[in-house]
Amino acid sequence: MKRLTKMRLNKNYIKVIKKSFTEVFHKGEIYLFGSRVDDSKKGGDIDLYLVVENKVNIFKNKIRFLAKIKRELGEQKIDIIFNIDENRLIEQEARRWGIKL
């Protein structure tokens, strides 16, 4: 299967996601994966795989991150997966098929 390099996420969305990530988690990596990396699909939620070093208060920070995004972009269906266990299939798929923002 071919790795996709296009995404259905406009530049403003990417900017807001990256800015919010930096404000909350400071450093790490963000991958967009799922239906938003496939131009042949329509709609779909925004699936993000977040690689963060500091996992202290990770779920509190997840809420802060989502709130910042929604404040800027309005109500969006966003699913977040964190780097908890690299053996999880969802993490492997996100890294393999995801597009790093």
pLDDT at 2 over 60: no
Boundaries of every domain in the chain: 11-100
Strand partners, 31: 49, 100
Average pLDDT over residues 49-54: 95
Q: Report pLDDT digits (tens) over 18-35.
A: 999 999 999 999 999 988
More confident residue, 29 or 36: 29
Pick the CATH number of 11-100 from 3.90.850.10, 3.40.1350.10, 1.10.10.10, 3.30.460.10: 3.30.460.10
Average pLDDT over residues 58-67: 97
Query: pTM for this one?
Result: 0.88
